Amino acid sequence: MVITTGEATDKLLYSYMGIRILVYIVFFILNSFQTFLEGRTLWRKKQKTTTRFYIFLSMAGFTMFRILSTAFFYPEKDEYKSGTLSFFFFTFGTTCIFITWVFILHFWLLIMYSFFVSDEVKLDKLKPINYSTFIFVTVLVIYQITIATLSLLVDLQFAEAVCFVVLLLIYCTLIIVNGSILLKSLKKHKKNSPFEHYNQMIFKTKVLLGTLICVFSFTIIEEVVFQLVVPDTFGNHVAYLFVTGVVDTTQMIIVMAVLANGHFSHYILFKRVKTTSYSSADKTSHESGSRGTKKTQPSYDVSGRASMSVEYSLDMDTFQPSSLTMKNNNSGSNLNNNNSSNRTFTSVVVSNDENDTPTSSVNSSSSEVTINVTTEQ
């Protein structure tokens, strides 16, 4: 049976689908292994799941559903529209991409409301972010299960495309707006902060924002062209799969690279990707330009060890019932300066120590206050 213009193009199509499956299998293995490593670390430490865990899990789910969707091409070569198993699994793969970016936004919101929005580091203020994230993911999964199941019974291809574009527009707007606010805050506080790797943090935020904007733009153009402009033929469907595969796989690779601090070889060598945090361990305070006096500043350390433990870190979805309120015992002053213009950070330390349990401490022998908080992304 010839499904294209001839046997030669049929063989080319079969080869493309085979390569597509192999590529997705490779990335499924890489992301599944990182998910396993994150889960094993959390299990050993008896900690709750992290944002990184969910991002890797979502990307593993994305590749798994794409493998299933592509595999159904072989027994159902001419069955690709809404209502087929291939389309069914394809839409679930797209949902996993949404979930990946949900948790990227979750991390950004935790950063913003921990360091830049609130004048106090109170953990209970971050509970709504955790709850709303999981509520959104739950609603998204329920919606996808419902619409995908109905599509097996009724032709909902156009309606699903419209709903997808609307959902994409709303969600991308949320991510772009909040990501831009975070980026602006990072640049503002950089002027008063001696972060050694602050530029790296800003750069990675820019990369993720730029990636999302490009993905959003290409996806909107793609949906308009293939849904409204070109005819619905098998050849155009193959072209649609190719364009979608390039866009989706590229954004996944970029997210993986950001999580690994650009060291993609760690995935290939099956090592746990480096902790993504930003360091200046040797600086805990800096000189005031106008007075020539030292300011007491908080230090954010991935592997800090002290007497007082706080079961929370910026990359962890830990539901902590009590808030964090710390004071300097010598001066009696609050940890955070009420004047937001003076809320600057002196250090965030890179650490690949397996024991990265977040802790907080107060140096009773001096006027310096140190908070050690994991800032993995």
What lies within 8 Å, CB to CB, of 208 at 6+ separation is: 104, 179, 254, 255, 258
- CA of 347: how far to CAs of 8, 212, 324, 337, 372, in Å? 61, 29, 20, 17, 10
Q: Where are the domains of the chain?
A: 7-268
Residue 187 in contact with residue 125, Cβ under 8 Å? no
**pLDDT of 343-365, one tens digit each?**
433 333 333 334 443 333 333 33
- Per DSSP (E only), the strands in 200-339 are 299-301, 308-309
**pLDDT of 199-217, one tens digit each?**
777 888 889 989 988 988 8
CA distance 296 to 281: 15
Q: Identify the architecture of domain 7-268 in CATH.
A: Up-down Bundle (1.20)
First-to-final CA distance of the chain: 50
Task: Please provide the size of the chain in residues.
Answer: 377
**pLDDT of 263-296, one tens digit each?**
899 999 999 886 544 433 434 433 344 344 433 3
The amino acid at residue 349 is V
pTM of the model as a whole:
0.71
Find the helix or strand (DSSP H, E) in which 224 lies: helix 198-224
Q: Which long-range contacts (CB under 8 A, 24 or more apart) does 130-138 make?
A: 130/106, 130/317, 130/319, 133/102, 133/103, 133/105, 133/106, 133/317, 134/317, 136/102, 137/99, 137/102
Q: Which residues pair with 370 in a beta bridge?
A: 361
Position 202 scores a pLDDT of 81
Residue with tokens 């997808």: 164
- pLDDT band, residue 75 (cuts 50/70/90): confident
Residue 362: phi, psi to the nearest 5? -125, 125
Position 338 scores a pLDDT of 42
**pLDDT of 2-18, one tens digit each?**
566 677 787 888 889 99
Q: Which residues of 8-41 are buried (b: 16+ CB within 10 A; e: fewer)?
A: eeeeebeebbeebbebbeebbebbbbbbebbeeb
- pLDDT band, residue 125 (cuts 50/70/90): low
Nearest Cα to 147, choosing from 103, 102, 73, 90?
Answer: 90
Tokens of 222: 């793609």
Find the helix or strand (DSSP H, E) in which 372 lies: strand 369-372
- pLDDT band, residue 340 (cuts 50/70/90): very low
pLDDT > 80? residue 189? no
Categorise residue 54: left if φ over 0, alpha if ψ from -120 to 50, beta otherwise.
alpha
Residue 350 in contact with residue 276, Cβ under 8 Å? no
Residue 254 burial class via C-beta count within 10 angstroms: exposed 0-12, middle 13-18, buried 19 and up: middle
Tokens of 89: 């699994």
What lies within 8 Å, CB to CB, of 23 at 6+ separation is: 249
